[in-house]
Structure 1
């Protein structure tokens, strides 16, 4: 949940029942944008009864249970079993939309105790029913998010293709790349862009020479970047270290952001600043009204209120917690092991709001290191995701999709290359 484990230890008290961001998003008629991030408070699992009693079943289910109808436990889909699962689901959601292991065990244990014929061959006796009930919750939560969130925000494509994961057992040796196809360029347009092999190497050499100067001419470097764009696209699928060895200028924040601009026609900095202007206060308001209130309070503890971009940075740091996702896949501290996917590493402070320096690492390679806070680091992080065509890791996918769509106004197909003259 929320921030990384070590950051939670340093910053926040233990929170036993994390809330869920986007469980129910309501329209705010008082704002010009019509976007209001408000959650319906989730009841804590502590309200679960000490002794659980099965609900009253509808007559059709009651009769099927009494006659030990075999369709209630057969393999594959069953109408009666679906009705049974619906009754159990309705009963549990009176208490919580995120039942834990204890709740599942209480409900299904009581069910097979009263109706032993429902037992399966698993050790618990109810693994089959457990899977059905879990799938029901996953399906209904996704539907709830789609209806109350995506419609309100006018999303252009589905953000919730997968249910969230805590990331346990998620280990990849290298960041997973998207399959990309590059357009076929004729020798004529390669020559027009100065991209024959000889001129390509001359451009890259000129960039590296300029970078070694005390005060590089970034305008000149950007021009060389434009001239080598198409050729470089063909080489971005190589291992991360090879790419950075060939193109070290992608480790300079303003140049990696320029790469996004010439490739996708997007200014990440402007898009993020504009979006956070409207959304940061609302994200923090949601956090204060839910179970993240204590998390946010401790995050801001002893932080100078006049700190630059404090509200924006805090809103971004709290996002994974609101989505109930693993923040380790977004950011961590320098003494923690970073995941192979692009990750923000904060340096010099246990509280990321205090950190004055940050890095972006991928596949064990430090791609960017600079004096920057969360907002600037996030811009560089997404630039790395997009120029390397990296897939979002599942344990942080909802957070990343939200940022991509609503903060950066990007779309993760990455298929259309927009060449701009800027």
Structure 2
């Protein structure tokens, strides 16, 4: 419902845009990221022999690594169940909660819940890209401002990936990350 509602209001297919745009960027995101999770993700991807599944894993890893590219708090975008990071109580923060992760590994989840201030909105996300789309829908449909520790990541997604705003006025730091991904 959230995805359809946003598509009706904006004419943007959020899930499709995330999948198509970030799939192209994913290998480069993995290459330029300095996140400590990068090597853990790379091992999972390298161990995969199915080409189509490998592309999906690259996309998931890129989504989870995006905040690190902007030196932002990934805990404002996602958390692994049981390893929660607390957010300021006065800040509405929709995020993905990766549930049933084997050995606490973010890419080995059973399912994903979308939470807003500790309340479950949905647990029907099929994968991380859809969950990211739902998180974006919650921000847009409920008029929630991006938290300071995730603002660059979300602005990048809104302008570059979803193409909902003109990227001409992007801050220099976001343009630099964009250029490093498309170099």
TM-score class, shorter-chain normalisation, is 0.7 to 0.9
Please, which of 263, 288, 291 is the counterpart of residue 9 of structure 2?
A: 263
Does 1:323 find its partner at 2:77? no
Change (3 A) 1:296 1:337: closer
> CA contact under 8 A between 1:338 and 1:361: conserved in structure 2?
no
Partners of 2:85 and 2:25 in 1: how far apart?
Answer: 31
> CA contact under 8 A between 1:271 and 1:407: conserved in structure 2?
yes
Taking only aligned residues, the RMSD between alpha carbons, in angstroms, comes to 2.0
Question: Could you tell me which residue of structure 2 aligns to residue 334 of structure 1?
Answer: 81
> How far is 1:360 from its partner?
0.9
Question: Could you tell me which residue of structure 2 aligns to residue 273 of structure 1?
Answer: 19
> CA contact under 8 A between 1:360 and 1:380: conserved in structure 2?
yes
Partners of 1:321 and 1:313 in 2: how far apart?
Answer: 14
Partners of 1:390 and 1:286 in 2: how far apart?
Answer: 30
Instruction: Please state which structure has a larger fraction of its residues in strand.
Output: 2
Partners of 2:44 and 2:15 in 1: how far apart?
Answer: 28
Change (3 A) 1:257 1:334: same
Q: Deviations over 1:106-126 (max 9, x none)?
A: xxxxxxxxxxxxxxxxxxxxx
Partners of 1:373 and 1:408 in 2: how far apart?
Answer: 18
Partners of 2:74 and 2:23 in 1: how far apart?
Answer: 23
Change (3 A) 1:322 1:377: same
Change (3 A) 1:282 1:337: closer
Partners of 1:300 and 1:281 in 2: how far apart?
Answer: 10
Question: Could you tell me which residue of structure 1 aligns to residue 113 of structure 2?
Answer: 359
Please, which of 136, 140, 143 is the counterpart of residue 386 of structure 1?
A: 140
> How far is 1:373 from its partner?
2.0
Partners of 2:23 and 2:81 in 1: how far apart?
Answer: 29
Question: Could you tell me which residue of structure 1 aligns to residue 31 of structure 2?
Answer: 285
Q: Aligned to 2:26, what secondary structure does the other structure show? A: helix
Question: Could you tell me which residue of structure 1 aligns to residue 172 of structure 2?
Answer: none
What are the ranges of 5 or more consecutive residues in structure 1 without an aligned counterpart?
Answer: 1-254, 413-422
**Larger Rg over CA atoms:** 1
Question: Structure 1 length as normaliser, TM-score?
Answer: 0.34
What are the ranges of 5 or more consecutive residues in structure 2 without an aligned counterpart?
Answer: 167-183
Partners of 2:63 and 2:17 in 1: how far apart?
Answer: 14
Question: Could you tell me which residue of structure 2 aligns to residue 189 of structure 1?
Answer: none
Instruction: Please state which structure has a larger fraction of its residues in helix.
Output: 2
Question: Could you tell me which residue of structure 2 aligns to residue 314 of structure 1?
Answer: 61
> How far is 1:364 from its partner?
2.4
Q: Deviations over 1:40-97 (max 9, x none)?
A: xxxxxxxxxxxxxxxxxxxxxxxxxxxxxxxxxxxxxxxxxxxxxxxxxxxxxxxxxx
Partners of 1:313 and 1:297 in 2: how far apart?
Answer: 14
Question: Could you tell me which residue of structure 2 aligns to residue 179 of structure 1?
Answer: none
Please, which of 123, 128, 132 is the counterpart of residue 369 of structure 1?
A: 123
> How far is 1:338 from its partner?
5.3
> CA contact under 8 A between 1:353 and 1:373: conserved in structure 2?
no
Question: Could you tell me which residue of structure 1 aligns to residue 96 of structure 2?
Answer: 344
Partners of 1:354 and 1:299 in 2: how far apart?
Answer: 10
Partners of 1:337 and 1:277 in 2: how far apart?
Answer: 28
- How many residue pairs are counted as aligned between the two chains? 154
Q: Deviations over 1:211-270 (max 9, x none)?
A: xxxxxxxxxxxxxxxxxxxxxxxxxxxxxxxxxxxxxxxxxxxx2100001111111122
Q: Deviations over 1:277-321 (max 9, x none)?
A: 32112212222xxx44x6311233345524461010111111111
